[in-house]
Amino acid sequence: MDKILEGLVSSSHPLPLKRVIVRRVVESAETPLSQAQCRAMFALSTRLVLQGPDPFQRQVGRQVLEAYGRYHRDEFEAFFNRGLVLGLLQRGYGELSNRDPAILDYIQAGLRLIMSCPSVLELFELLQVEALRLVCERPAPPLCARLCQLLGDFPQCLPRGRKLSLAFCQQLVRSIAHFQSQGTREAELRLYVSQVTQVSGLLRSVWKAEPDTLLPSLQELFAIISAADTSFEPSVALASLVQHIPLQMITVLIRSLTTDPNVKDASMTQALCRMIDWLSWPLAQHVETWVIALLKGLASVQKFTILIDVTLLKIELVFNRLWFPLVRPGALAVLSHMLLSFQHSPEAFHLIVPHVVSLVHSFKRDGLPSSTAFLMQLTELIHCMMYHYSGFPELYEPILEAIKDMPKPTEEKIKLILNQSAWTSQSSSLPSCLSRLSGKSETGKTGLINLGNTCYMNSVIQALFMATDFRRHVLSLNLNGCNSLMRKLQHLFAFLAHTQREAYAPRLFFEASRPPWFTPRSQQDCSEYLRFLLDRLHEEERTLKALSSLKASENIMNEESQTQEADHKAQVFAPCTESEERTLIEKMFGGKLRTTICCLNCKSMSQKEEAFTDLSLAFCPPTSLENVGPKCMESSEVKDDCMVQTNTLANSPAGETFLSNLEVNGGCDAIVNEGPIKDFSTEPNSENTTNAELDKIQDNSGMSQRLVDKNTLSVTDLLNYFLAPEILSGDNKYYCEKCASLQNAEKTMQIIEEPEYLILTLLRFSYDPKCHIRRKILDNVSLPLVLELPVKRTTSPLAVDPGSWSAGVEICDIGENLAKKLKPSGADEVTCPQLVPYTLSSVVVHSGVSSESGHYYSYARNVTGSGPSALCHQSTALSLVSPQDKLLTEESPCTVVENELDMEMPREWFLFNDSRVTFTSFQSVQKITSRFPKDTAYVLFYKKQNSTCGFNTNSANGLWVNGDPPLQKDLMDAITKDNKLYLQEQELSARTQALQAASASCSFRPNGFDDNDPPGSCGPTGGGGGGGFSTVGRLVF
């Protein structure tokens, strides 16, 4: 019979005929056969099953083996013995390898036939040993899955005893770690996933039957994923085991892992990274639960270094998993936790920002309900992150446009989500990180690294650097051998102009320029810092000049030598030839303000002139501008609850200058500016002058009508309000020396000398007496690109003593008596009103809701006295005039049409945000508060046009780069040395990147933004899924 069958299956007869004959052969199995005939049939069928060249022959072999084995069980028991099975498992069958799954198929079929025979017990014992041996040899997924199927159908073949069972589980875990998919097509991926599922299912059965094997198996799993061996990367198929770990064990296991002193940080980092990689495994359940639990566990024991490293390494991978429906729910859950807990720096969020818009557009086009649900969750997450890391409009505007149609969570919900997700308050102790090593941006500008809440300094320095004339004066100074603050500023400016680094760390300048009362690593007021910085530079130069004069007087014996030395030092801070006695700060930022007080009873007047470096503009209450008629002071409203500050360079009786502040506070107690400013004054009487509760008159009915008609104030309105007359009445009456009593009086302020750079500070922080905090005024203010400053130039033959108040004068006096009485105040001077055009140069923006928190960044552009921005267009809308100059407004010679001007230089504006520098536009500057309500213009720099104090860029001193003067040799050498060091760092980084293992300490992963406190300051759930395997073509491995 065996010969007939063998000849039949190998013949060329038609297949239907062969099937008929095979069926008759199978039916004949019921007839009695000799032992030799049975053995021959078993050998033939075995050969057909294992070595059949085609599916038909293999099928015939299985049919014949099953039929003859069932009817001739004793003969088959003798044939299917220990020797046959052991030979198949160890040596294979003929040319068939012992690692071919067909071997296990044959053994499983044989076991079914002899299950009732006594010899099966011997085979079970043999298979227990062989199964352990087989998994130790790291079988491929097909063989391992087939073995697990056999062991699942015949659990008697599983290794017995705690030791062998435990070893089998551990080795099976290691075998899974070596799994790799052999194809990329959908059918191949589906088969691979099913094979892995078969293996993990067997482990689940073993763990359930023998619970003692679970914990050692998990320890083996952790050992695999925490290994630092770079030559072996464990398979993501290990993710299939996670769903079989009881969730009740999470708390115990995570606590054990995070507190075990034997688990090094590098091992934990590696393990966590690989667990996050498991998010790519389709159909795996609870992976995100375990990842989030481990992240929370590490935060609870304050292992922030691991959290920072892992987040920055894996955040982009997690985000990319959102593209794949099968793994999207888990990926979104992990992404949300990682971003919301990473609150000390925006770096992690900014890594995914460039990819958000394309993902949003993709799922909008998809239109599926699952995609819509996912988009709502993602939008909520994005809004939370943009709220927490406000101050990056150049990054967020495209995202806002993409998600404008999606629901926006309330501010209360955002705050609740952020508060629940934070790591701990210990985040403030994290070390600062530097900027990422990369070349300069396309702008060619250099950022400033945040040294820990130093954005207030960075924004001011960038604004001063972009003040072109000031920068050129500083760079042109000959300061060799001088260790002054100006020298350090020159060093900083030189590096900003010439370094190849993307961002520079201004550590030395920060330590030298930080006011003593500023707490390190805490947020500060950038306006206060700017005043202190200018004051220090001004006083330093005066001191140097005084020392130069003293040394010259003591060197009488060497008159020629002492004259040359004195001249040299006098010139150190004064590269311009005119106004030799003025300091550089006075030349660039100094102006003069004249204050006049007129007694309304006797009409006598007194005047005082003061120097200033910036004007602080209070916000005018809307009611103060209603019902105002021309020259109708009695019916005008009063200004209350507003404060006006003027940072002044006041002249002392000795003729020297110092920095102080003139403050006018209406409607509340007198407020004196922070004392440390005046501590640098050299005169005992250089104290802050304060007038309490000054009522402002608005005489410009046109301006009041504009404010009534529109909601947005402009800088024009605030400056007009600053220059408007005030009535001193009630508790604020003026003491008139002539009347010898308190009288109602009118106070006016006029600018009599304009600065080269006009600095305007918008007083956005007002003191709340109820809460004892400084609240922020979030009103939007329109910024004119070009404004005209009303300057009351005076020509007088009479010498006026600036800083002293004049004697009272009656208006009714005439003739010589009037001239004599007006002599001290210069009241007979010929007033020559002039509108001086200024162009916007820089805007420092504060992002936040209080002065003690938030973030600063700045917009700036290069503006010179004769640049393209000096072009003017006839208009009257933006003129800045005091009420008494209203007639001059009708013939304003130079104002600007902003849109036309900005279109001429579309890439002239830059956004300086700590380490980041990008191109922007004036439209972005104007719309910043309307798009981001917490981001408001705070300090403005305006450059006077048609100035005669600029540099000649054709200087004979050498080649000028971008109009800047050539650097001193020591500066250039320092920059060259640092640029070489930078290139070495880049090379070293490239060489070690491939070999770098996870470090136990915070690896050098620079961070351009590391403000930590408080939340919201600069520092510090699944969506819709796929429909099953119909989308398996988008699996991720």
Range scoring the smallest mean pLDDT among 586-590, 707-711, 870-874 = 870-874
Range scoring the smallest mean pLDDT among 40-54, 134-148, 149-163, 929-943 = 40-54
For 475-485, how does the pLDDT look when each residue is reduced to its tens digit (9 = 90+)?
988 887 788 89
**What are residue 917's phi and psi, to 5 degrees?**
-130, 125
Contact indicator for 221, 245 with CB cutoff of 8 Å: no
For residues 817-839, give the mean pLDDT: 55
State the pLDDT confidence band at 30, using cuts at 50, 70 and 90: confident
For residues 326-339, give the mean pLDDT: 92
**What are residue 873's phi and psi, to 5 degrees?**
-130, 145
According to the model, what pLDDT value does residue 555 have?
66
Please indicate whether residue 642 is annotated as part of the active site.
no
d(CA 10, CA 15): 11
Show contacts of 700-709: CB within 8 Å, 24+ apart: 700/628, 700/724, 700/881, 700/882, 700/883, 700/886, 701/628, 701/629, 701/630, 702/886, 702/889, 703/625, 704/625, 704/626, 704/628, 707/620, 707/622, 707/625, 708/622, 708/625, 708/626
According to the model, what pLDDT value does residue 172 have?
94
User: Please, what's the b/e burial string for 81-116 (b: 16 or more CB within 10 A of its CB; e: otherwise)?
Assistant: beebbeebbeebbeeeebebbbbbbbbbbbbebbee
Contact indicator for 688, 569 with CB cutoff of 8 Å: no
- Please identify which residue in the block is written with the tokens 């105040």: 825
Q: Taking 70 as the threshold, does the pLDDT of residue 29 lie above it?
A: yes
d(CA 650, CA 641): 26
Question: Which letter does DSSP use for residue 779 in this model?
Answer: -
For residues 219-230, give the mean pLDDT: 89
Which of 135, 137, 170, 162 lies closest to 150, judged by CA? 135
Which H or E run contains 515?
none
What is the chain's alpha carbon radius of gyration, rounded to the nearest angstrom? Answer: 42
Please indicate whether residue 855 is annotated as part of the active site.
yes
Contact indicator for 752, 791 with CB cutoff of 8 Å: yes
Contact indicator for 996, 436 with CB cutoff of 8 Å: no
According to the model, what pLDDT value does residue 185 have?
86
Identified catalytic residue from 157, 491, 855, 872: 855
Would you tell me how many other CB atoms lie within 10 Å of the CB of residue 556? 8
Range scoring the smallest mean pLDDT among 98-107, 222-231, 575-584, 896-905 = 896-905
Q: Helix (H, G, I), strand (E, B), or coil: what is residue 775?
A: strand
User: CA distances (Å), 584 to each of 462, 489, 533, in order?
Assistant: 18, 13, 13
Pairing of strands 447-448, 765-768: unpaired
d(CA 615, CA 755): 11
State the pLDDT confidence band at 683, using cuts at 50, 70 and 90: very low
CA triple 956-958-962, angle to 5 deg = 105
According to the model, what pLDDT value does residue 950 have?
56
According to the model, what pLDDT value does residue 1027 have?
37
State the pLDDT confidence band at 36, using cuts at 50, 70 and 90: confident
According to the model, what pLDDT value does residue 1005 have?
38
Q: Helix (H, G, I), strand (E, B), or coil: what is residue 776?
A: strand
d(CA 283, CA 183): 19
d(CA 821, CA 808): 8
Which of 88, 134, 78, 77 lies closest to 111, judged by CA? 77
Would you tell me how many other CB atoms lie within 10 Å of the CB of residue 637? 19
**What are residue 892's phi and psi, to 5 degrees?**
-60, 125
What angle do the packed helices 715-723 and 701-709 form, to 10 degrees? 140
For 483-534, how does the pLDDT look when each residue is reduced to its tens digit (9 = 90+)?
889 999 999 999 998 888 889 999 999 999 999 998 888 888 899 999 999 9
State the pLDDT confidence band at 668, using cuts at 50, 70 and 90: very low
- By CB neighbour count within 10 A (0-12 exposed, 13-18 middle, 19+ buried), where does 187 fall? exposed
Q: Taking 80 as the threshold, does the pLDDT of residue 672 lie above it?
A: no
Range scoring the smallest mean pLDDT among 45-59, 551-565, 602-616, 968-982 = 551-565
According to the model, what pLDDT value does residue 871 have?
39
User: CA distances (Å), 410 to each of 85, 341, 343, 383, 388, in order?
Assistant: 70, 19, 19, 10, 13
Pairing of strands 734-736, 830-847: unpaired
Would you tell me how many other CB atoms lie within 10 Å of the CB of residue 254? 18
According to the model, what pLDDT value does residue 499 have?
85
Identified catalytic residue from 144, 273, 455, 872: 455
For 336-358, how does the pLDDT look when each residue is reduced to its tens digit (9 = 90+)?
999 998 887 788 999 999 999 99
Q: Taking 90 as the threshold, does the pLDDT of residue 1015 lie above it?
A: no
What does pTM read for this prediction? Answer: 0.58
d(CA 262, CA 225): 15
**E strand spans, 1-146:** none
d(CA 620, CA 797): 38
